[in-house]
Structure 1
Amino acid sequence: MKKIITFKKVLNNEFIIKIIESFFGKVSFVLFTMLFSFVCTRLYGAEIFGQYTYAFSIVTLLMIFAKAGFDNSLIYYIPKYKDKYISLSFVVNVIISVILVLVANFFIDEWFVKLMLPLIWLVSMEQLFFGIYRANGNIKGFYFVNGFLAGLFKILLIILFYFVFDRNFLSIALAIYISFLLSNLIYFYQNKERFKKVIYDNGFLKYSFSLVLAAVMGVTMDKIDIIMLGTMKDMKSVGIYQIDVQVANIIFMILVIFDTVFGPQISKLYHSGKYKELQDLYVKSTRVLGLLSLISLIILIVFSKYILLLFGKEFVEGQMALILRGFGQFINVAVGSVWLMLAMTGNPKWHIYTNFIALTLNIILNYLLIPKYGVNGAAFATMTSMILVNIIGYILVCKVFKVRVYGIV
């Protein structure tokens, strides 16, 4: 009887429910992303898939400037000011996106990258909507679109366009555009009542922009290996490496699922002055995350070759890169939501400094290792910088919040 009562209490816990919703939503997103990559590699091959990966990596990097930190600042401000700054965020997002697309066209030569540049606006706008859904606790609503409808639609489209346009990069690009347009239209329809008069606030913009530099360096650190591989090697290497990244990121998804709910929870506890609850939540959750990530890493190492064979024999040469990236993600997850803890409590500056150091190291290592070791060199460079930035973040959180997770700090 006591076990039944305890189980009911767990189910009635709002935080646990949101974690479960985030889990199923993110798992759905990851599955459809992997299925998308599987279909692309099987139909179009590693080189064309590499072109898409290279182009979308540049879009993702520039998108950070376009969203201008509004996705996280909305999570921080909505609990206090409701929908006050939503319209301002989207207006500034449009302006920055247009400027970025126009300027980027002057500096980029590859036609397939230029074709994808307008996605900067669509991808960044989706991230702003994600911030709204997270701040309002509607994780399920976002992931139904992002993790199911858009993913399914995108896969069906690349299969359809394969027969219409043959084995062509245009098929993938058109499918991506349509899926993002569909997603954002649905997000807007579901949240249209939140868009009101644009209210300019310098404090809101200043806080948002303070998050941009850290985010840019974080994404650059995540994407620089792909961009440098494309520049220093070839698109086939990019295609192979992207599969390694996606498979290794399955470990990272454990943390992403948790952070989707944990971010708004940090803000609420912090603004309510419930610091002890915040400390306990971080310690307990990080220990669970560490155990889950360790189990995931072991499974990944044991079955790495067979997983890569699913995408084709040419992808097996990325086995060592997959293991290296997997270990880096294990450390990333095992230390918990360190940078989210600092950002959501008004201390984003340390992330900027740490990311700058790690990014510099990453670029130097990629430059030295990619020419000789290819995808393995890129994986080692990113793993090293990833471990550095997360260990520093863990030490900072332990010192600032006076917590001990593993008894080593």
Structure 2
Amino acid sequence: MVKKLQEYFNRFNLHNVLGGALRVLILRVLGVIFLFGITLYLTNFYSAEVVGAYEFTRSSLFLIGGVTLLGTDQSILFFSGRFSKPEQAGTLFQVYLKMLALLLGVSIVLLGIILVIPKEYYNLFFNDQRSGTLLIKMGFCLFFYAVTLFNTEFFRAFDLHEKSELYRGILKQLPFGFGLLILFLFNKHDYVVEVFLLSFLFCALLSGLEVYIKYKRLNPVVSRQTSIRFKTVLKATIPITISAFGFYLLISIDVFFLKRYTNFETLAYYGTSIKIIFLISTLINVMGSYLSVRIADLFVTDQVALQAVLKKGVRVIVGLALGLSVILFVFAAEILGVFGAAYQEAVPALRILIAGHFMSTLFGVTQVYLNMTKKQVVLQYILIIAVVINAIINAILIPKYGMLGAAVASAFSVIFWNGCAVIWVYKKDRIKLFLH
């Protein structure tokens, strides 16, 4: 399998772009497969209401946990480049500890806000008696979730890319999958959310132990001359946080609107469709991670070569996405049926999502390009507009059309913000990110 993939990449003359990252790609694909395995097990052995509660909690954790991260998962890579020499490892670990303290402080503040808001307000907004309790439980998990994601990226600072992908795709989900099996054996189906949240406690402790072992092996020395202040850390993290929060809102706001106007069962059906769409977005994310360093370098040194690399990259993305999208679109009913007959109710919504997200692949790696060429502020403005539009469409369509309206809002938003970014980049840099 590895040999065939390598031949495929060589045929497109991408071996210089992809380098030795094939094993990382395989680990990411295995992580997606593992996620689907857990979802299949969950949807076939647990009720749609339980699955919907899990999806609601998962989306809430994804959104609020993204704020808790405060961009530390990305900014630590910036500091790892700044302090890349072996003798600077002590300073890098000093930054790590400051960011860890930052995560703890933000987690406590957000948990306090969640607890201060009366539960009746949650119940009133989401039209049920359970959502407030789920949000409070999620709040207690924020720190462990943030630490897990933070440590996962910190491994990349030491070129441990395979370990990072192993945590991202498999180890992060393994405790949850094992917990689901135990719940099923003991007939305790109502504790899925609790097991899901506790799995991040396990991952935070395990990844933290590995970071500590790495620290002891290096035995770094911290120099007073290179001491990093909290102000410096915040300057690196805040801009990333704003962009990240925009993305988290775009991919989760429809879930909250759906919960307000429908029920947990509908949330389960729609959430499963979103996981299927994740296959398409993974193609863009993988290619973007391969091209990021090249984009940053060539943008300064050789824009002709940059255009050539981006042209190849978008062609590979669209080629792979086209085949995948056609299969998903044609066999949407059969694929959803694997998760349970009732999940086929989401077939129209899934097909709209497939069409929208495939069209977004025609624009290439817009997010990576803007971030790597120091245009984060532009990305922030585009995302803010996209979030507002997304919220308006959701508010109009979901009360009348349910998850079909949510799918339309999601598809339109992803096309809108990518299209705006592509147009802006072409006018500003004369670089074609889109398929051509």
Same fold, TM exceeding 0.5?
Answer: yes
Q: In terms of mean alpha carbon deviation, does 182-191 or 342-351 score higher?
A: 182-191
Contact residue 362 and residue 381 of structure 1 kept, 8 A? yes
Give the structure 1 partner of residue 269 of structure 2. 240
Residues 1:372 and 2:413 are matched in the alignment: no
Which stretches in structure 2 are left out of the alignment for 5+ residues? 1-5, 123-131
Q: Distance in 2 between matches of 1:407 and 1:258?
A: 14
1:7-406 matches, cutoff 5 A: 15-82=17-84, 84=92, 85-107=95-117, 109=122, 110-164=132-186, 166-168=188-190, 170=191, 172-192=192-212, 193=214, 199-267=228-296, 273=301, 275-406=303-434
Q: Distance in 2 between matches of 1:86 and 1:111?
A: 33
Q: Distance in 2 between matches of 1:132 and 1:294?
A: 34
SS class of match (1:117): helix
Q: Distance in 2 between matches of 1:126 and 1:256?
A: 20
Q: Distance in 2 between matches of 1:12 and 1:138?
A: 23
Normalising by structure 1, we get a TM-score of 0.89
Contact residue 22 and residue 261 of structure 1 kept, 8 A? no
Deviation at 1:17, TM superposition (A): 4.3
Q: Distance in 1 between matches of 2:60 and 2:105?
A: 19
Which amino acid is the alignment partner of residue 205 of structure 2? L
C-alpha distance 131-145 of structure 1, shift in aligned 2 (>3 A): closer
Counting aligned pairs with the same residue, the percent is: 21
SS class of match (2:286): helix
Quote the RMSD (CA, aligned, Å): 2.7
Which amino acid is the alignment partner of residue 248 of structure 2? V
Deviation at 1:400, TM superposition (A): 3.8
Which amino acid is the alignment partner of residue 139 of structure 1? H
| CA deviation profile, 1:122-163 (whole Å, cap 9, x unmatched) | 222222223323444432112223323343332121111223
C-alpha distance 164-265 of structure 1, shift in aligned 2 (>3 A): farther
C-alpha distance 401-201 of structure 1, shift in aligned 2 (>3 A): farther
C-alpha distance 407-222 of structure 1, shift in aligned 2 (>3 A): closer
Which amino acid is the alignment partner of residue 86 of structure 1? Y
Deviation at 1:353, TM superposition (A): 0.8
Q: In terms of mean alpha carbon deviation, does 129-138 or 71-80 score higher?
A: 129-138
C-alpha distance 276-91 of structure 1, shift in aligned 2 (>3 A): farther
Give the structure 1 partner of residue 129 of structure 2. none
Q: In terms of mean alpha carbon deviation, does 145-154 or 355-364 score higher?
A: 145-154
Q: Distance in 1 between matches of 2:292 and 2:156?
A: 8
Q: In terms of mean alpha carbon deviation, does 116-125 or 366-375 score higher?
A: 116-125
SS class of match (2:364): coil
C-alpha distance 43-334 of structure 1, shift in aligned 2 (>3 A): same
Contact residue 126 and residue 184 of structure 1 kept, 8 A? yes
Which stretches in structure 1 are left out of the alignment for 5+ residues? 1-5
How many residues align? The count is 400
Contact residue 422 and residue 434 of structure 2 kept, 8 A? no
